[in-house]
Copies of this chain bind each other. A is one copy, B any other.
Amino acid sequence: MTNDPRRVVVLAHGKFPDRAKTATGVMKYGTDEIVAVLDRDRAGQRVADCRADLPDAPIVGSMAEAPEADVLLIGIAPIGGGFDESWRDDVETAIDRGCDVVAGLHYFLSEDDEFAAMAAEAGVELRDVRKPDPDLTVAQGIADEVDAKIALTVGTDCSVGKMTASLEIVEAAQERGIDAAFVPTGQTGIMIAGWGNPIDRVVSDFTAGAVEEMILEIGDDHDLLVVEGQGSITHPAYSAVTCGILHGAMADALVLCHVAGREAIHGYESFPIRPVPEYVDLYESLADPVHETEVVAGCLNTADLPDDETARAALDDYSDALGGPATDPVRFDAGEVVDALWP
C-alpha cells in the first residue's frame, strides 16, 4: 500500500469480527479508509454493531454491492491458507471494477491463471504479501549497525498479541515524539504496514536474513524500531521462526507477551506454557551469543478477564514473574513499556 489512504473493502465472509484477525487488525491499525466489509452472514449490519473499537463501515454480502473502492483485501484465511472458491466472484468483480487485490494466503492469487489474466487486462495489481522477495539471502549479523534502538516482542505462545503490542508501543512512542517505526514479520502486520517480509514463509536458511534486511532498510531513518515477533521459543512447530527473528533482529530490548490464564501451547495442549521466568532466561541466554539483550517489560493480553480490577491483579503477578513493568496495551496503554524502552 502507498502512503495515500486508499478506499479498501475487506473480505471476511462468515468470520467477522471474531475469527477475522487480519480484517480487524487492518481496520484497527491500518491507515487506509475502510469503505465496506464483505460478510454474507452479516449483510445489512454495520461494523459498529459488532465492534466498538473499529472504524464504522457498512457490511455487505458481495463485492458487487460494495461502494467505490481502490482495493479488495482478503481479511481471513481458512486453515492451511488456501483460497476459498466461494470468494472467486468477489475477487473477479473487484478486478473488473479496477481494484487491486491484496491477500496473505499461502495460495498466491498472482499465480491463479484466471485472476492473473484478468488483472493484466484491467491493469490492476494482485499483491500476495506472503510471497517472499526472491532476493532474500542469509543474514550477515549486522542489524545492530543501524542508528535506531531495536526492540522485539517475544512470546510465550502464538497468538498472544505480539503484533498488537508492537503496534501499540509504536503508537505510544510516536505520541511522545519518538520517531518509532513498526517492523512487520507476518501477513497481517505486512498488510497494515504496507511493506515487509513474511518471515514464516521464507526459506529456513534466510529466516534471520529476512529480518535483518528489513532493519537495514529502515533502521537509519528512525530512532526506535519495534520488530513484530512470531511464535514462541518453546513452540514445538514454530520455534525456528522465533529463533531466526531473535538472532536476525539483534534487539537491544525484548518485550515478553503472554495471555492471562493460558496454560498450554495453543493447538499443542500436551505442551504446557512454562513459568514466565523460564522464558526470560531462555530468550536472554539464546540471544546473548549473537547480541546481548534483556527482557525490559511485558505485555499481557487480558481480553478474557472480566474487569479492569482482575486485569490489574493479573498484571501485578505477571510483572513480579518477569521482574519488570507490565501492561495490557489494549485494555490500558503501552506507556509503561515505552518508559522501559526509552527511559
On A, residues with C-beta under 8 Å from B are 138-141, 199-209, 233-244, 247-248, 268, 270-271, 274, 278, 281-282, 285-286, 289-290
**In the assembled complex, which residues on chain B have CB atoms less than 8 Å from the CB atom of A285?**
281-282, 285
Q: Are A239 and B208 in contact (CB under 8 A)?
A: yes
Across the interface, A240 reaches (CB within 8 A) one of B234, B243, B271, B278, namely: B243
A290 touching B236 in the complex, CB below 8 Å, given contacts A141-B268, A141-B270, A141-B271: yes
* A6 CB, min distance to chain B CBs, angstroms: 30
Q: This chain: how many copies in the complex?
A: 2
Interface of A is mostly: helix
Question: Which B residues are in CB contact (< 8 Å) with A270?
Answer: 141
A244 to B247, CA, bound (A): 14
Closest to A199 in B: B204
Interface centre among A201, A242, A243 (most CB of B within 10 A): A243
- With CB as the reference atom, state the residue of chain B lying closest to A211: B240
Partner of A204, one of B203, B233, B282: B203
Provide the residues of chain B in CB contact with A282, threshold 8 Å. 285-286, 289
Neighbouring B residues of A240 by C-beta, 8 Å: 204-205, 207-208, 240-241, 243-244, 247
Query: Given the complex of chains A and B, what is the CA–CA distance between A248 and B243 in angstroms?
Result: 14
A138 CB to nearest chain B CB (Å): 4
Q: Is the CB of A247 within 8 A of B241?
A: no
Interchain CB contact under 8 A, A205 and B290? no
Q: List 11 A-B contacts (CB under 8 A).
A: A204-B206, A205-B241, A208-B239, A209-B237, A233-B286, A233-B289, A234-B289, A236-B247, A240-B240, A281-B285, A282-B286
